[in-house]
Amino acid sequence: MPRPPVRPDMTSVHLVLVGLMGSGKSSVGRRVADVLNRPFVDTDHRIEKDRSRTVREIFETEGEEAFRDLETRILGEVLSAPTPSVVATGGGVVLRPGNRRLLHDHRVVWLRASVDTLIARVGPHSSRRPLLDGDARQRLLDLENERRDLYRDVASLVVDVDTLELDDVVDVIVQDARRS
Ligand code: S3P
């Protein structure tokens, strides 16, 4: 008799952090991975390694679409790895519907931050982040408007990071992961 589809057990899926630039995905992700004793993967670093170029160089020489294609490929590779890991993504990973479909099969945590918090962290001129060239505050406000609903769509947990210390953000995520 055919067996009913099995919903993936949360201990066997990847824990993925999403959110705007400066929300703390990499620093939080590294710590969560340590505590949960899982590997940590940063998709932007994977992309840079794959191309032997920085994200900025890829944007400037190949364009944003090429970067998004790479991001989609790397996301697919990372999420299909069998060992459950903690994954920090780039802020724009939610833009493509195909990426969002992949994310729906995993535990996704949205680190939600106000633009004031983000700008305080990334600074008015972020050399690493081509999408913030020019008026970084205005760019973040626009990105927030464009992406808010997309982050909400993929998130299994939303953590408001504005008033939390890094350790507190890590605790909330770890406790939630251990409950499931
Ligand atoms: C981007 C965010 C960046 C990087 C690229 C595009 C975005 O990652 O992927 O510059 O579209 O928000 P971080 O969110 O880690 O800064």
Query: What mean pLDDT value characterizes the chain?
Result: 93
Asked whether the predicted pLDDT for residue 10 surpasses 60, the reply is no
What's the rounded Cα separation, in Å, for the pair 121 and 2?
Answer: 52
Q: Crossing angle for the helix pair 55-62 and 43-51, nearest 10 degrees? A: 60
Q: What is the mean pLDDT of residues 109-121?
A: 97
pLDDT digits (tens, 9 = 90+) for 56-98: 999 999 999 999 999 999 999 999 999 999 999 999 999 999 9
For residue 13, the model assigns a pLDDT of 93
Asked whether the predicted pLDDT for residue 7 surpasses 60, the reply is no
Q: Which one of 43, 44, 50 would you pick to mutate in the ligand 1 pocket, going by the greatest count of ligand atoms within 8 A of its CB? A: 44
Helices of type H across the chain: 25-36, 43-51, 55-62, 64-80, 97-103, 115-122, 136-154, 166-179
Ligand 1 centroid distance, CA of 112 (Å): 15
Which of 104, 106, 67, 105 is closest to 86 using CA atoms? 106
Asked whether the predicted pLDDT for residue 6 surpasses 80, the reply is no
Asked whether the predicted pLDDT for residue 16 surpasses 60, the reply is yes
Ligand 1 centroid distance, CA of 6 (Å): 34
- Confidence class for position 180, pLDDT limits 50, 70, 90: confident
